[in-house]
A and B are shown apart, each in its own frame.
Chain A
Amino acid sequence: MIAKTKYIPDGKKELKQLPILHYLDANYLYYPVTSARCPDGETCVRGGQFVKIGEVIGTRKGAFFEQPMHATVSGEVVGYEKRIDQSGKVVDCLIVKNDKKYNLHASIVTRTEAEIEALTKEDYIKIIKEAGLVGLGGSAFPTYIKLETKDPINVVIANGVECEPYLIADYSVMMNYPNEVIEGLIYAMKASGAPKGIIAIKKKYTEIAERLNFSLKQYSNHDIKVVMVGNYYPQGWELEMIKNAVGIDIPQGELLSKYGVLNFNVSTLQSIFNAVKKRLPVLERLFTISGNGVHNSSFRARIGTQVSDLIELAGGYKDIEIPKVLILGGPMMGVNVIRDDIVMTHTSTSLIVLNEEVVVEEPCIHCASCVYSCPVFIQPTQIMNAYKVKDKDALKMLQVNKCIECGLCSFVCPSKIHLTEYMRLGKRLVR
């Protein structure tokens, strides 16, 4: 009510108990040629050509970086089709017909300890760049750019908070591959020259803390600590997490590296481990299908798998007659899609299917729940009123650009006003 809301029913407990199916039977795999960050791209394979796991099949081109595409199965290139990617847009996809032999490309050779020991900062950056690693927490920001910084780095933080409801991808990575996360963190520390590493997890995840601490005993010559931070939302937002984990208050809009901090998602660190140790790009991700409109299931599937296949495998939709809301990502910040021929990309972690609930907006009664709950201390209700009269000056004074679109204002509103949408409109107006 008229109070700060921090906790959202997260529904993770049930999802964690789901068995994880390893899905390797996809007949066709789809590789988007472009992505939200890379509006341009080209492929370097011909139709009918056979590719193997880890082979470069093309390049996506962003504003200031290029990113290679890798095949995640072995098989034959058969053509192009349009599919929906993680950002909800229709994109051209390269199709590879899976021969289900899963042959590795000749370049995929595990590095020995001695080889890794000899790697320099430049080598790490080159490896990570060539593996096409991006922020797997959802930002899809190229990882090597973060590591390229000239600023001295004191601490590398592994963000394992994952505060959005219904998401368990990072949780399962930490639970099942703690050593890979830790080694990935060590590589990131070496690449950035940071003496300290921190793994930030939720306070209530004591089982994860135990597991990580147990694994850390093997790496006692590195200064890595597990730090427990709050259970609340949006604790996973990097500035909020850094504030609680290391006590550095970084203003919005500033580069983390200026304050000697680097922040990676735990899944990203696992992918750094795979890239450095095994020379592998990101091949697989945990993909959860959840929500009340579909049979819930967890999969470990190759990048490029079509999500509609997974839905079918899980048991399909429930209550077909009720309209559904399809969400890629979490229910607070995820992307809405209106078709289910979605392709798994690096940042895909979850599809949520909710039965439609009609919400009727009532007038605002100035209860200020949104103002109290806002993690960046702006005033959503006042911004809404300023937007309605198209008052640009007021919108600037109310600092609408600080909004991180976490969705808490819409979530808490007792009048069910869609404030987050007004924030987006307001931002667009002052741009």
Chain B
Amino acid sequence: MQAIKQTSPYVRKLVSTKRMMIDVLIALLPVVAFSIYRFGWNAIIRLLVSLLIMIGLEALIIGMTHKPKKTDKTFKEKLQSKYSTYTINNITAPAVSAVIFAMLMPPKLPVYAVAVGAIFAIVVVKMMFGGLGGNIFNVAAAGRRFVSLALTGMFVGAYADMNLIAGATPLTALKGGMGFPSVLNSYPIIDLITGNIPGTMGEINAIAILIGLIYLLVRRTADYRIVLSTAITFLSLITLIGLKLYPTQWVEFVLYNLFSGGLLFGLTFMVTDPVTAPVTRPGRWLYGLLIGSLIVLIRTFGAYAEGVAAGLLFANIFVPLIDHPQWSTNIIKPKFVISYVVILVLMGLVVYFGVGGAI
């Protein structure tokens, strides 16, 4: 009998990072299925390009950044020691990012634009920061933001002419002149829920996204705290704006904002990314508060009609600050609850006066 040296504990729970990644892929299925149903080959090609680039480049970079052992002689041995740390998570994790990234692309965006975004996301945002678990920005959101900044023309063109590549999404229409409530004529709320609108491939069908959200929350792969906190902040601030600007139609205004744009998609698949989130309970509530308010601020006062990806990236910057050892704690103290409410009220005041409210 051979005895092995180990330290306690000697038993482990039957969970794995692989399972979490596959859970996200399963949750993405309804969204992907709808986008393929709606956009056919356009969706399939962009998905495949994105998957191929992200998984392939991650593998390539792992090979480039690992040195072979000095004792390795043949090419095969060198390859083996270079890829000794390569596991299933080096396939599932970029696959998750790739699918989310592809779902953030408009269906008619040129394939080269998708490729550029995917390359930037995986090389600069993920692998340069250390690969899985090391990235400080959400991979898919940063890729999406990069594409829309580098190739602005393909997106803003939509303001002038509805039939350009991206198509006028309900939110660009809201922002670009049409105004509320006349947008409701072009985009009735029922169409927003069922996905009968222009927009990026993944964000348009609210039902498919909600199925994924419920799956993730039931499986506890996503932390409900971030989702709930973001949703509470977003809804309360948007309701405030609706009540101020359109007192008679505020319900429609809130629903319109909730179901249009990438909010639900971002809420389900982007803000729940644990890698770029804080690690404590209060930290995650605060993080959600930050994302929610940034989305509202960007949508209402910013230059973009959208705000989820930008708001999330901006909130990512604050994560090391939230997690600073000096104050990070996992106990939700009364002090924290009070400051959470105070910040929410302050944001409410900012938004209220911002849209022209007076006392």
Q: Chain A interface (Cβ within 8 Å of chain B)?
A: 1-3, 5, 8, 165, 317, 320, 323-327, 331-340, 352, 354, 356, 359-360, 362-369, 371-372, 374, 377-379, 381-382, 386, 394, 397-398, 405, 407-408, 410-416, 418, 420-421, 424
Extra contacts besides A381-B279, A386-B325 (5): CB < 8 Å = A323-B4, A332-B9, A332-B11, A365-B133, A411-B12
Segment of B194-202, B235-243, B327-335 in the binding face:
B327-335
* A381-B328 Cα distance, complex, nearest whole Å: 12
How many angstroms from the CA of A288 to the CA of B15 in the assembled complex?
28
The interface size of chain B toward A, counting residues with CB under 8 Å, comes to: 44
Residue of A nearest to B132 (CB): A363
| Interfacial chain B residues near A324, Cβ < 8 Å | 1-4
Closest to A421 in B: B7
Roughly how many angstroms separate A273 CA and B19 CA in the complex, as a whole number?
A: 52
Contact between B1 and A325, CB atoms less than 8 A apart: no
Smallest Cβ-Cβ distance to B88: which chain A residue: A362
* Shortest Cβ distance from A1 into B: residue: B220
Q: Counting CB contacts under 8 A, is B175 at the interface?
A: no
Known contacts: A1-B20, A366-B277, A374-B330. The answer to whether A332 contacts B15 by CB under 8 A is no
**B binding-site residues for A, Cβ under 8 Å:** 1-13, 15-17, 19-20, 87, 89, 131-134, 219-223, 274-277, 279-281, 284, 323, 325-326, 328-331
B327–chain A nearest beta-carbon distance, Å: 9
B101 CB to closest chain A CB (Å) equals: 18
B11 contact set on A, CB distance < 8 A: 8, 165, 331-332, 354, 411
Write out the residue numbers on chain B whose beta carbons fall within 8 Å of the beta carbon of A379: 279-280, 328, 330
Determine the distance from Cα of A337 to Cα of B110 in the docked complex, in whole angstroms: 63
Question: Hey, which chain A residues are within 8 Å of B274, CB to CB?
Answer: 2, 365-368
Q: 5 shortest A-B CB distances, which residue pairs?
A: A407-B9, A1-B220, A363-B133, A397-B325, A368-B279
Q: Are B6 and A325 in contact (CB under 8 A)?
A: yes
Residue of A317, A340, A352, A415 touching B10 (CB-CB under 8 A): A352
**CA of A339 to CA of B16, assembled, Å:** 32
Q: Which residues of A contact B8 (CB under 8 A)?
A: 327, 331-336, 405, 407, 420
27 A-B contacts (beta carbon < 8 Å): A1-B15, A2-B222, A323-B2, A324-B1, A325-B3, A326-B3, A333-B9, A334-B8, A336-B6, A336-B10, A338-B3, A340-B1, A352-B10, A359-B12, A363-B89, A365-B133, A366-B275, A366-B279, A367-B20, A368-B279, A371-B279, A371-B280, A379-B280, A398-B328, A410-B9, A412-B15, A413-B12
A396 to chain B, nearest CB (A): 9
Is chain A's interface secondary structure helix, strand, loop, or mixed overall?
loop
Q: Which residues of B contact A340 (CB under 8 A)?
A: 1, 3
| Residue among A8, A354, A366, A411 with max Cβ neighbours from chain B (10 Å) | A366
A408 to B328 CA separation, bound complex (whole angstroms): 20
**What are the residues of chain A within 8 A of B10 when measuring CB–CB?**
325, 327, 331-332, 334, 336, 352, 354
Name the B residues within 8 Å of A386 (CB-CB). Answer: 325
A364 to B279, CA, bound (A): 11
- Residues on B with beta carbons closer than 8 Å to the beta carbon of A366: 133, 274-277, 279
Expressed in whole angstroms, the Cα–Cα distance for A205 and B331 within the complex equals: 31
Is the pair A3, B4 in contact by a Cβ cutoff of 8 Å? no
With both chains docked as a complex, state the minimum distance between the C-beta of B175 and any C-beta of chain A, in angstroms: 34
- Bound CA span A37–B257, Å: 66
Decide: A325 near B4, CB < 8 A? Known: A362-B89, A363-B134: yes
- A381 contacts across to B, CB distance below 8 A: 279
Complex CA–CA separation, A27 to B12 (angstroms): 39
Choose one: A5, A320, A325, A334; the contact of B13 (CB below 8 Å). Answer: A5
Contacts of A363 in B (CB 8 A): 89, 131-134
